[in-house]
Structure 1
């Protein structure tokens, strides 16, 4: 080729570039697919993204399928990080229980760190701060009634308020999720904030909306899942707009909580401990423990507020969906409830032993619709071995709770809803240690006792007072297999009819 009198050989000019590009590609692929010695097997996916574009909407289900190829313990590359996936009960128990000190860390996730700034409880890494805050939380919640008869009475009072709100719909089809959120939230608010809120309180309704919308919107929950393993995507539009949106919602909630803390500061009386905030303020005022600060209190309350609202209300929403899809189960449960406490009796935790089918229904519900399919990511605190594999320090760990709850080697027809699987030949309820909705080990859910109490008492009372029927204007039943899948697996909004008994 002759240009302005100079001759260029285009092939000769581009050939070195092509060679360099090829070498660079080989180096990149070699680095990407290289594994540390004796590491667990698993897919690497493609550079930068790993298997993100292959796992689909229900990552936990895809990971469970890959167990057939790679085994129960896998190393899966998500984004730029390798995640240790534990795909059965034995591996989860071995890691989180038998090696609990090693596997109880929390990874530093950029999006989460920007929100909590090192505070809270669920997001704290394993160490002295987490231990002191966990101990304080357990003792304080118990001190204010969680797990005791006094808490049961308070829950029963809220149950009565919920039933009145349901009754006010006069048998018309409605979405019950909003009133369920408020009822369940009032129980945790009573303990941590020292107050409950009327269901028609507009400001509280907006707080609830801002608190829960990030996990109820499919697009936002998808983004959160991506940010956990590929935080760099949060800097790129349109993902960056979602990050800003999430941050705005959380700031609104935190302003609400901070106002309540400020009110407690002004009316604080060391001789009258009203709630969790007062107990925390008491520790702060001692002035000799830097673990207790206003920032730590704010994040602690926010996380308790969210976890104490979303998880239980979503469990009850799934329960109501099951009642619509399995009317025979609803009939059996109601007959048992009426037989034990009648139409006007008040449910008590002491009735559990007399209600085997109801207990089996709840146990199967927590297996069938796993609310936290991949639990909360853990992190290894040191180099270790698991079933002969070398696991380096700071490895992200994903306990696949969904895989445990749907393991065909343990469960017969796991895809079906069958409360009877937990009833023995004597008609007794027999729980399974393989149903672990609250996870296991030292980082299992802090509010497990309260959540179990709420689900039992609320569900019994609702089934006692109402027959739940599908919306007569709907062409088909609400989907029970699909849901919003982000940090948790929650049902899409649906309408039902509550026919008073």
Structure 2
């Protein structure tokens, strides 16, 4: 039967054609773009990701290759799923892959001025150079900072053995945060200081495995969700937290300004204030607002990843008591009961070093690194990557690559011990990423993990609580950017 023109439902016809064209436009990939799975209009592939996003992307490598694309929201991102692809992009073509994409959640927290989320350019280069120089000047990665960590260790041990006034993870964060606070703010805080406690609560609210951070994680991939009520509420909480945190930091900066002495530079804030004083008025790099955001980034980065790594370490010690006893034996032979752990002892403690490296491989705390962006068009594995494309280095995929690690799903520190009993450093364990935008605090982080972990095992035995069964070591949860251990409690017995 033939339809006449009068029989056509034009509104329905128009909506159908429009929907088809919109979907086609949203799902269309650029020419010679890496292959990947199709998603849904507006949301992309977000609804199909599992509880571990990095693992879900790693599994797609078998079908789509080490360089693949995936739609998140309305954008097509490129995922780098093996070491060679990541090294080619971030190191060999680092000048093309060192940008930062606009991200709704990170901009919400940093008010679009954060150093870590800043795009590649003159301002970032100037802040990067200043940050590296001043952090080294204040002892980061050197002997002076090592002494601060050693001094903090007894406070942490005492806190862990006290009544459960707060979680072990929170106590770890107190200790780790105090180290970066010494550098940035010039002092440490007591663990019951109200302002310090609230700052840590804000930091943890952004990084813990919770419904709130799951909502934020979805917003990083599909910001259009911010208009839906549960996501809208998460946006408000995050924005309010960011404002409160910035107000605390303003107070620290004003306090430093009130007793500033350019002949006595005490900490990072003083060093930045001196740079502001030497710079022209309204300088785009060295100004008060940029200082506050830089401090925020340093406190965030200097608190979350190391405390999460140490929390994973505690869970590993309780789950694998044989590993704990091997570390304890090494400590006993190297330090005895009262010797102070320091970085000079690493060569005498190969198993401890292997345990830490295996922990960072197996429980990668920042599994997809921090998103990058192409500064210009690039060719990678034969594919054309347009300018301003978001790039995600999947560090988790590298760490679970059977080409580099036999039986990668197993937690096996011995894989990094050679026949002579010496520690083997692996170039394929890259928890801090690589290239121009690798973590500027990685030397400090390595120092903290080694000294805090050694100090804990030297004085305390970590055992499961019979009244609270341990969760699986092999299952964590995603926050916005980190892979967090499940909530757990253990018992600390003095040795």
- TM-score, reference length from structure 1: 0.94
CA offsets per residue over residues 147-193 of structure 1, 9 Å max, x none?
11111111100012212223434xx8973112111111110000000
Q: Does 1:488 pair with 2:482?
A: yes
Where does residue 153 of structure 2 map in the other structure?
159
CA–CA distance in 2 between the matches of 1:84 and 1:252?
35
Question: Which ranges in structure 2 are unaligned for 5 or more consecutive residues?
Answer: none
The equivalences for 1:95-494 within 5 A come to 95-169=89-163, 175-288=167-280, 289-474=283-468, 476-486=469-479, 487-494=481-488
CA–CA distance in 2 between the matches of 1:379 and 1:96?
10
Larger Rg: 1
Deviation at 1:11, TM superposition (A): 10
Deviation at 1:110, TM superposition (A): 2.6
Where does residue 6 of structure 1 map in the other structure?
none
Contact 1:374 1:401 (C-alpha < 8 Å) held by counterparts:
yes
Deviation at 1:217, TM superposition (A): 4.5
Contact 2:34 2:383 (C-alpha < 8 Å) held by counterparts:
yes
CA–CA distance in 2 between the matches of 1:403 and 1:260?
41
SS in 2 for 1:84: strand
Deviation at 1:347, TM superposition (A): 0.6
CA–CA distance in 2 between the matches of 1:341 and 1:271?
40
CA–CA distance in 2 between the matches of 1:332 and 1:354?
13
Contact 1:80 1:229 (C-alpha < 8 Å) held by counterparts:
no
Contact 2:33 2:385 (C-alpha < 8 Å) held by counterparts:
yes
Of 54, 61, 67, 1:67 maps to: 61
CA–CA distance in 1 between the matches of 2:152 and 2:436?
30
Deviation at 1:317, TM superposition (A): 0.4
Against the structure 1 CA distance between its residues 57 and 167, is the aligned structure 2 distance closer, same or farther, given a 3 Å change threshold? closer
* Count of equivalent residues: 490
Deviation at 1:13, TM superposition (A): 4.5
SS in 1 for 2:419: coil
Against the structure 1 CA distance between its residues 470 and 174, is the aligned structure 2 distance closer, same or farther, given a 3 Å change threshold? farther
CA offsets per residue over residues 288-328 of structure 1, 9 Å max, x none?
24310110000000110111011111100000100011000
CA–CA distance in 1 between the matches of 2:391 and 2:429?
19
CA–CA distance in 1 between the matches of 2:19 and 2:161?
66
Contact 1:120 1:297 (C-alpha < 8 Å) held by counterparts:
no
Question: Which ranges in structure 1 are unaligned for 5 or more consecutive residues?
Answer: 1-8
CA offsets per residue over residues 183-232 of structure 1, 9 Å max, x none?
11110000000010011212311221122112214212212222222212
Deviation at 1:483, TM superposition (A): 2.5
CA–CA distance in 2 between the matches of 1:40 and 1:412?
28
CA RMSD of aligned residues (A): 1.8
CA–CA distance in 2 between the matches of 1:261 and 1:27?
53
CA–CA distance in 1 between the matches of 2:82 and 2:94?
17
Deviation at 1:461, TM superposition (A): 0.8
CA offsets per residue over residues 5-27 of structure 1, 9 Å max, x none?
xxxx9995454444434433432
CA–CA distance in 1 between the matches of 2:377 and 2:4?
53
